[in-house]
Structure 1
Amino acid sequence: MAKVGIMGAGSWGTALSLLLHKNGHEVIVWSINEEEVEMLSREREHKSKLPGVKIPKDMEFTTDMEKTVTDKDFVVLAVPSTFTRSTARNMCPYVKEGQILVNVAKGIEESTLMTLSEQIEEEIPQANVAVLSGPSHAEEVGRQIPTSVVVGAKTKETAEYLQEMFMNEVFRVYTSPDILGIELGGSLKNVIALAAGMADGLGYGDNTKAALITRGIHEIARLGVKMGGALESFMGLTGIGDLIVTCASVHSRNRKAGYLMGQGKTMQEAMDEVKMVVEGVYSTKAAVALGKKYGVDLPIIEQVNAILFEDKDAKEAVYDLMMRKGKAEHNAKPWS
């Protein structure tokens, strides 16, 4: 049995806390929101985010960060990506040398173009930072629907330890040393999911979504490989797998926000209606900047950015994508 601290009592933090508790670990969950802690402690259910999923009575919720982090075998960071750096900074005094921190959020910092694990390492240099990612909506993990993910870590020992801690009959965990590839796939797929949602909102069909998913992973992989990620990561669970589920699922907040924008709502109106952090909105500008930095053409991501921040009409963006100069799909095989 391990002692585990969960930073963040949203849908994902709660779902993972239930999973780890089911695996026999001692779990404590932190939230910055005192009202949320009181509600979860009293109701034993996150009615707004994981309705119908009951929380065991011996799982503790707290606003005490020191208690959540100190002397834990590992700590899971499940706060929204926009709060990862500030949360890590506040955690730093309580993190011991070599303590394992597992980031499960997805995003890229717009001002620095740093991944979340890079931000955590900068704020907590003494930590052993790992990541967990893949096609894993909290709504399904909380209901114990079979799910597969990947743990990325700097050492095989850390990855295999976390694999053992998380894995059970409904939650299969693979390991990988490619932390960068895992994080880029998880962050950039949210931008493509916004585009897929916009296509749905505009009334387009399955052909359109298939094209967006396929050409979207092509963009993500070209940029990710140029930055140093492994192509296999983008072709696996943390790339195409996560992209498929985020573009297609009713649980996807990014797809839903895109859908509302496709129907004519502004970015802010869409985010207000979703009522959860839409990570893709915050990753889009960073993705465009990374494309320019590494000299990689990102047509879908650039059009999403234009819709979000330059008031471009979504239909016009689709037209511009379709009418770009014709090109070969790939150059892997030469013409005879």
Structure 2
Amino acid sequence: MEQTPKYLPSIHTIAVIGGGSWATALIKIFTENGNTRINWWLRNADDVAYIKRYRSNPRYLTSVKLNPELVRPFEDIKAAVKEADAILLAVPAAFITSALSTLSAEDFEGKYVISSIKGMIPTHNTLVTEYIEEHFQVPHKMVAVIGGPCHAEEVAMEKQAYLSLASSSSRYATALAEMMHCRYINTTVIKDLYGVEYCAVMKNIIAIACGIAHGLGYGDNYQAVLVSNSMQEIKRLLKEVYKVKRDLTASAYLGDLLVTTYSQFSRNRTFGNMIGRGYTVKAAQMEMEMVAEGYYAVKSIHQIHTQYEDLNMPITTAVYNILYNKVSPSEEFLWLKEQLQ
């Protein structure tokens, strides 16, 4: 990590919003230091009761044991955030507005916000942090993003992983990096908040494309070309929507893309694989029982794409056509393979 700035923000209690595998993994990481307290809000009252009794998530990463002295589950979201110094968002982007619907700007006042969401607000076509800043009047310097490359399942197994903490405030990012650094987690500080978010959104779309390719029977050679072309597509998008100096080969960008497009734990790749094998979108979603962020993200990115006449995004276009225009995956990929270099 870079040299620690002076006067780091003081964060003792974090309100975690969301009850999935990534929320569970992040709670495990934050409580490794033995100092950070977690107020954990879950939508399902039965899950709250189960966690209070058995100290584990009944639905996801059930092997992770929670420290009862540090982790308190809540049914009331207002009560969870009231005494927290920071709010960590770990709900799929498509459901974040409903999850936060009972909260107001007053509930966010004076609190840091951490987004671990790898998607966009579908009805707004905006990044999660942009929505939080505008809707809840949170200052830009009090917002941070947790980037990869990292899978929740490997966190549960305590396999070596890397996280990137992005914020326009290096002090805030450094404070989070220090809180999350432990035996199996390495952390890096980066200032490119929106760039990390856009890349996280795009890598899920690319992972769906890679899954479709695998389901259709395309091999490793094709996937290598697909992924390398996707980096060019991401670069072209970022040049239009958020042009700043960045190194896209860094772990927060390329690393996160690679782990999502190749890993067995990638739900977006799994979703795409099912589509390539002939599942309908609805059938794939029902069988997975988990949200593939890329399904919602590709619609938002496609709509952003149409605003720029000269922006070439063939992979995004192909995934959008398959998922939303119901074009045959095999036919669309015949077109796509001619667009790749």
Post-superposition CA distance 1:42-82 (Å, at most 9, x none): 33223432132222233211112122112322221111111
| Contact kept? 2:169, 2:191, Cα under 8 Å | yes
After superposition, residues 1-336 of structure 1 pair within 5 angstroms as: 2-24=12-34, 25-58=36-69, 59-92=71-104, 95-126=107-138, 128-230=142-244, 232=246, 234-295=248-309, 296-324=311-339
Give the alignment's TM-score, normalised by structure 2.
0.90
Separation in 2 of the partners of 1:132 and 1:229? 20
Post-superposition CA distance 1:240-263 (Å, at most 9, x none): 111111111111110011011111
Separation in 1 of the partners of 2:232 and 2:202? 11
Unmatched runs of 5 consecutive residues or more in structure 2: 1-10
Separation in 2 of the partners of 1:233 and 1:168? 26
Change (3 A) 1:65 1:262: same
> Which has the higher mean CA deviation after the structures are superposed, 10-19 or 315-324?
315-324
| Contact kept? 2:93, 2:122, Cα under 8 Å | no
2:50 maps to a residue whose letter is M
Unmatched runs of 5 consecutive residues or more in structure 1: 330-336
* Residue in 2 that maps onto 1:332: none
2:158 maps to a residue whose letter is Q
Change (3 A) 1:207 1:214: same
Paired residues, number: 326
1:81 maps to a residue whose letter is A
Give the alignment's TM-score, normalised by structure 1.
0.91
Separation in 1 of the partners of 2:183 and 2:50? 30
* Residue in 2 that maps onto 1:334: none
* Residue in 2 that maps onto 1:333: none
- Displacement after TM superposition at 1:172 (Å): 1.5
Change (3 A) 1:93 1:135: same
Residue 52 of structure 1 aligns to a residue whose secondary structure is: coil
Separation in 2 of the partners of 1:228 and 1:218? 15
- Displacement after TM superposition at 1:233 (Å): 5.1
Separation in 2 of the partners of 1:250 and 1:288? 26
Post-superposition CA distance 1:199-248 (Å, at most 9, x none): 11112211111111111121112101221244635322222111111111
2:24 maps to a residue whose letter is T
Residue 184 of structure 1 aligns to a residue whose secondary structure is: helix
Separation in 2 of the partners of 1:322 and 1:265? 22
- Displacement after TM superposition at 1:14 (Å): 1.0
Change (3 A) 1:42 1:173: same
> Which has the higher mean CA deviation after the structures are superposed, 223-232 or 132-141?
223-232
| Contact kept? 1:220, 1:234, Cα under 8 Å | no
Post-superposition CA distance 1:150-196 (Å, at most 9, x none): 11112122111111222222111211221110100001111110010
Change (3 A) 1:229 1:48: farther
| Contact kept? 2:210, 2:226, Cα under 8 Å | yes
- Displacement after TM superposition at 1:289 (Å): 1.5
Change (3 A) 1:209 1:257: same
Post-superposition CA distance 1:112-151 (Å, at most 9, x none): 2210101111221045221111111111112221111211
